[in-house]
Amino acid sequence: MTSLLIVDDDETIKDVLLEMFSGQHLCHTAATAEEALEQLESHEYDVVITDIAMPGMGGEHLLGFIKTYNPRTRVIFITGSSDKQNAGRLMAKGAVGYLVKPFNLEIIMERVEWAIKQRRGV
């Protein structure tokens, strides 16, 4: 079964994504990047969906950790910022998606499925 880690300090977004993906995938959540790091130390995820701006460590630092220690894990950012330079920088660092909140649920579902196929080499 494919595994996803959903990282966001917004409980509503976490709950919506968890409900949407948990029927098809093993899903875990974290409210901070620090919590996500703890989970990443003991579990390799296929896809991480993360916010950029969170209390404490931000999503960009989390991406750096993931690309260093779990390079096959695909990272999709969800954020309130539509800054194209920010998006370009994160994609250059290895992210496979950048969606601006509020995002269309169909689009994030498509991006996650694409990321899973990409990880599997399909």
Residue pLDDT, tens place only, 36-49: 999 999 999 999 99
Average pLDDT score, the chain: 94
Would you give the DSSP letter of residue 10? -
**H runs (alpha helix) in 22-101:** 33-42, 59-69, 84-92
Kindly list the domain boundaries of the chain, sorted by start residue.
3-113
Number of other residues whose CB lies within 10 A of the CB of residue 83: 13
Q: What local confidence, expressed as pLDDT, does residue 109 receive?
A: 96
Q: What local confidence, expressed as pLDDT, does residue 82 receive?
A: 76
Residue in 49, 43, 46, 45 with CA at minimum distance from that of residue 13: 49
Which architecture characterizes domain 3-113 according to CATH? Answer: 3-Layer(aba) Sandwich (3.40)
In the structure encoding, which two tokens stand for residue 79, read together?
Answer: 């954020």
How many angstroms separate the most distant Cα atoms in the chain? 36
Q: What local confidence, expressed as pLDDT, does residue 122 receive?
A: 63
CB hemisphere CA count around 106 (13 angstroms): 0
Using the predicted structure, report yes or no on whether residue 9 has a pLDDT greater than 70.
yes
Would you give the DSSP letter of residue 83? -
